[in-house]
Amino acid sequence: HLTDANLYDILQEIQQLTGVSAAELNTADAQIKVTYDDFLTGPRDFHSIITSAGFHCSITTMGGFMMANRLLKTQTKEINKLYSQLMLASGLTIPIFCITMILPIFPYIKRGLETEIFPGLGVNGLLLFLLSFPVQFYVGHQFHSKAWKTLKTRSLGMDFLVSTGTLAAYLYSSAGLVMGMISGVPNLRDVEYFETAAVLITAVLLGKFLELYAKGQTAAAIHKLSKLKA
């Protein structure tokens, strides 16, 4: 039979374990609630302390619930971050697509877009360059940074393909823009690749968002199931 003195002795030993951040004693039910870092200690250590004192114990854990809750919070944070990036990329890519594919259908708008701001630089070229720059280097930074890491480790993947493909399209159009200004004649053909780079980044980002959203739904389901655990 456990006495209060026994419980306090066991409580003090558990509190001294590395990784235990808190331990609370409930003398009425002879229970000890422990909060701990599962990388440093765990139920086996608690069980060893109690049995070495000559007593039997049963252990319940909220580990599954805590793991599911941690996973859900992490997924939610990543989804919100990716959603904001997707909205920014979409908000810039849609005008780029319109300037390249839709607006030139209308003769008056087409003439306005081809108007030279100064010799060799048209309105459409400048707009495409300015709108695609944040998509390529702010939203697309995640692809470029991962591509650089995979290049150093020689384990190339999808991020490397997206990075090299979009950079090639963006730099080619930028070079075409510069050549147009040098020659004094706007380059109306090569600047259209700004749209290719922006649409590709936005499309891949949409795929990543849908994948992460599906994982978030799974984490939410696990979280709900863990609450049903006895």
Q: What does the pLDDT read at residue 1?
A: 45
Predicted confidence (pLDDT) per residue in 183-223, tens digit: 888 777 778 889 999 999 999 999 999 988 887 777 666 65
**Structure-derived torsion over alpha carbons of residues 185, 186, 188, 189, reported in degrees to the nearest 10:** 60
Supply the pLDDT for residue 65: 53
What own/partner pairs with CB < 8 Å and gap ≥ 24 does 42-51 have? 45/17, 46/14, 46/17, 49/10, 49/13, 49/14, 49/17, 50/10
Whether the Cβ atoms of residue 32 and residue 14 lie closer than 8 Å to each other: yes
User: In the chain, which stretches have pLDDT less than 70?
Assistant: 1-5, 39, 60-74, 219-230
CB atoms within 10 A of CB 102: 11
pLDDT, position 129: 93
Q: What is the pLDDT of residue 67?
A: 57
Distance from C-alpha of 71 to C-alpha of 36, rounded to nearest angstrom: 18
Which pLDDT belongs to residue 206? 94
Rounded Cα gap, residues 41 and 10, in angstroms? 16
